[in-house]
């Protein structure tokens, strides 16, 4: 090697050493970490929104087959959000449209992102990791609106009471689609992954454990809350636990009743 080559190699080595030194200095003396979405927080199973004051909100989001909990989060514009994401079952994804928030929901761990929501509007939250049958329906929503109710009260989408059974049934019909019931349950008597809703109300149900029961309001409500406690003969125990408010359960029962 001639002199110029030696010089070039030495200079390159010196630059590398300088970079490495700077890296070690930043990591130790300045305590600077590389950006990460991984936390050492313990996994949680309940979604919630915590108002930290000063327009800062901590959102605990649980991904599960096939919904996000809370299904809807309402925040005022200018909210600074610390989002923590966990999964109740398999690996899911979370992407908030119109933002660069894109996380994985990994069972047994919590991933996090911090971001600001300045613009009013409805942001769809979608699962972008294939997680089973109803993956394509797994959606949540963040609503950014001035005067949005304090975020903690935001976990239920349907606050007002429905009036009359007809109205309940039509609300129930909407829930039947939005909650993804239609993925497995038909309403025309045809075969599905789960029992059809047609003629279900009031019928005699036979279960895999050999017991029978009449499909009354209490039974239907229980089946929605604890889907796999009693499994109808001939079906697999695979119904996901969908977070439903008391009112939503009532509306779905009224809808099923209307199909009898
Ligand atoms: Cu959850 Cu795909």
pTM over 0.75: no
How far does the centroid of ligand 1 lie from the alpha carbon of residue 230, in Å? 26
| Ligand 1 pocket member 129 (CB < 6 A) | yes
| Ligand 1 pocket member 138 (CB < 6 A) | yes
| Ligand 1 pocket member 89 (CB < 6 A) | no
What was the pLDDT predicted at 163?
43
- Token pair for 138: 């797994």
Counting from 1 in the atom list of ligand 1, the atom nearest the Cα of 138 is 1
Tell me which residue has its CA closest to atom 1 in ligand 1.
92
Counting from 1 in the atom list of ligand 1, the atom nearest the Cα of 129 is 2
| Ligand 1 pocket member 67 (CB < 6 A) | no
Counting from 1 in the atom list of ligand 1, the atom nearest the Cα of 131 is 2
Query: pLDDT of the chain along its 260 residues, tens only?
Result: 889 999 999 999 999 999 999 999 988 888 887 778 888 889 999 999 999 989 999 999 999 999 999 999 999 999 999 999 999 999 999 999 999 999 999 999 999 999 999 999 999 999 999 999 889 999 999 999 987 665 544 444 333 333 466 677 888 888 888 888 888 888 888 888 888 888 888 888 888 888 888 888 888 888 888 888 888 888 888 887 788 888 888 888 888 888 88
Domains for the chain: give ranges and CATH numbers: 36-152 (2.60.40.420), 166-258 (1.10.760.10)
Rg (CA), the chain: 25
């Amino acid at each position: 090697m001639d002199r110029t080559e030696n010089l070039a190699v030495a200079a390159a080595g010196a630059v590398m050493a300088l970079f490495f030194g700077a890296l070690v200095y930043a990591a130790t003396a300045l305590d600077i970490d590389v950006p990460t979405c991984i936390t050492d927080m313990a996994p949680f199973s309940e979604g919630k929104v915590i108002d930290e004051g000063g327009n800062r909100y901590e959102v605990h989001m649980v991904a599960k087959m096939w919904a996000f909990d809370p299904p809807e989060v309402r925040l005022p514009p200018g909210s600074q959000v610390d989002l923590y994401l966990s999964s109740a079952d398999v690996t899911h994804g979370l992407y908030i449209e119109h933002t660069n928030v894109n996380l994985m929901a990994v069972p047994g761990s919590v991933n996090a992102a911090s971001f600001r929501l300045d613009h009013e509007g409805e942001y769809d939250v979608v699962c972008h990791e294939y997680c089973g049958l109803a993956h394509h329906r797994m959606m949540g929503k963040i609503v950014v609106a001035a005067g949005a109710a304090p975020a903690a009260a935001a976990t239920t989408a349907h606050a007002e009471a429905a009036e009359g059974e007809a109205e309940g049934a039509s609300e129930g019909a909407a829930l039947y689609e939005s909650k993804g019931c239609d993925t497995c349950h038909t309403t025309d008597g045809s075969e599905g992954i789960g029992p059809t809703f047609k003629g279900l109300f009031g019928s005699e149900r036979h279960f895999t454990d050999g017991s029978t029961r009449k499909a009354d309001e209490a039974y239907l409500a229980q089946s929605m809350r604890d889907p796999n406690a009693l499994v109808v003969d001939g079906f697999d125990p695979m119904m996901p636990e969908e977070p439903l408010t008391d009112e939503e359960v009532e509306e779905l029962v009224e809808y099923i009743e209307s199909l009898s």
